[in-house]
Amino acid sequence: MSESTAAGDTPASPVLRMQKMYIKDLSFENPNAPEVFRITQKTDPNVELNLQINNKQVTDDHWEVSLEVTAKVVTKEEESRVLFILEIEHAGIFLLKNIPEEHLPMVLGVECPNQLFPFTRQVVSQVSVDGGFMPFLMEPINFLGLFQNAQKAKNGSN
């Protein structure tokens, strides 16, 4: 049963609000330092980027949504060298109230990651700079497209 206003006939407005943001795990590896800093790269390095979105309910109205990002950056030489490996799990606690059950997967898989991602991107960029490299700027991510593709794959396998 959904909450109603004082008039009793209109459902309460949905609420989506990030209440806390934090780093759960962070790792930066620079296995070939300091030799790797002498390599002159005339082209952009190769980047392997993996992203996973996780969520879990914390209380009735609170959900933790986290972005797990792994980036492996290597040179484009024949004998490629690892420049750095960065892993982060960046999370937020979101207040979700009066959201219809059928919309919850999209809110958790699209709206919450959209709010969290710019901050994750900033942390990743700063960590790469602190590791001695140029800022590593992750491209914007279309979370709606990812969600829709996952739904298609899920429905196709049923």
Location of structure tokens 């049923």:
158
80 pLDDT more than 90 = no
Q: How far apart are CA 82 and CA 99, in angstroms?
A: 45
- Residue 94 and residue 63 in contact, taking contact as beta carbons nearer than 8 Å: yes
**pLDDT recorded at residue 1:** 44
Helix, coil or strand: residue 107: helix
For the stretch 2-40, pLDDT in tens is 444 455 556 789 999 999 999 999 999 999 999 888 775
**pLDDT recorded at residue 2:** 47
Structural domains of the chain ordered from first start: 15-157 (3.10.420.10)
Q: How far apart are CA 141 and CA 124, in angstroms?
A: 14
Checking 50-55 for CB contacts under 8 A at 24+ apart, the result is 51/141, 53/109, 53/113, 53/143, 53/146, 55/108, 55/109, 55/112
76 pLDDT more than 90 = no
For the stretch 93-112, pLDDT in tens is 999 999 999 999 999 999 99
**pLDDT recorded at residue 41:** 59
114 pLDDT more than 80 = yes
